[in-house]
Amino acid sequence: MVFPIDLSSTLSRTIIRLPSAYFLLRSLFIWTVIILQAFRLFPNTHAGRLHNVGMWVSRLETGEVCWSTFVAACAALCVNYITSGLEGLGRDASPFNLVRTYHSPHSLQLVNFEVRICIPTSLVLFPR
């Protein structure tokens, strides 16, 4: 063992993943509160922790929220590659591949777009 920490143990890999998981969950929480506030479903209390959370999220700028979400996702991907390497899993495909091949029998033609429904993912518009 070269390092004083056993990097092949499950506990070590979990500890390595914890910071990126925290930031992903934080971003998910912030986006959830933003969406609830946008649809006026967030409780409008004037006291307590829920009010403080709502005020904190409402003071965040959109660029800051988007950037922190992007950084959290990139950090999670980097940590995933590192821990996959420590586990000995040589993955060829990226878990977050932006270039995907969609093979779907469900297709609908619009004027300048082709709409493909990839089940179970989502609705994707491809310019022609």
- Co-location of 54 and 103 in the same domain: no
94 in helix, strand or coil?
A: coil
Domain count, the chain: 2
With vertex at residue 92, the alpha carbon angle to CA 89 and CA 95, rounded to the nearest 5 degrees, is: 85
- Write out the residue range of the structural domain in which residue 116 sits: 98-128
Which pLDDT does position 98 carry in this prediction?
Answer: 47
The reply to whether 87 and 102 lie within a common domain is: no
| Angle at CA of residue 74, ends 73 and 78, nearest 5° | 120
Q: Are residues 42 and 67 in the same domain?
A: yes
For the cut 80, the answer to whether the pLDDT of residue 67 exceeds it is yes
Q: Could you tell me the pTM of the whole model?
A: 0.65
- Asked if residue 65 and residue 9 are part of one domain, the reply reads yes
- Other beta carbons less than 10 A from residue 77's beta carbon: 14
User: In the structure encoding, which two tokens stand for residue 13, read together?
Assistant: 């890999």
Average pLDDT of the chain is 75
For residues 65-70, average pLDDT: 94
- Are 110 and 61 within one domain? no
Q: Are residues 81 and 118 in the same domain?
A: no
Do 86 and 40 sit in the same domain of this protein? Answer: yes
In terms of domains, do 80 and 108 share one? no
Instruction: Report, as an integer, the average pLDDT of 42-52.
Output: 87
Q: Is 33's pLDDT higher than 70?
A: yes
Tell me what percent of the residues of the chain surpass a pLDDT of 90: 38
Provide mean pLDDT across the span 62-74.
93
83-118 pLDDT, tens per residue? 877 766 655 555 554 444 445 555 444 444 444 444
Residue 80 and residue 112 in one domain: no
Which residue would you say has higher pLDDT here, 5 or 23? 23
58, 113: one domain: no
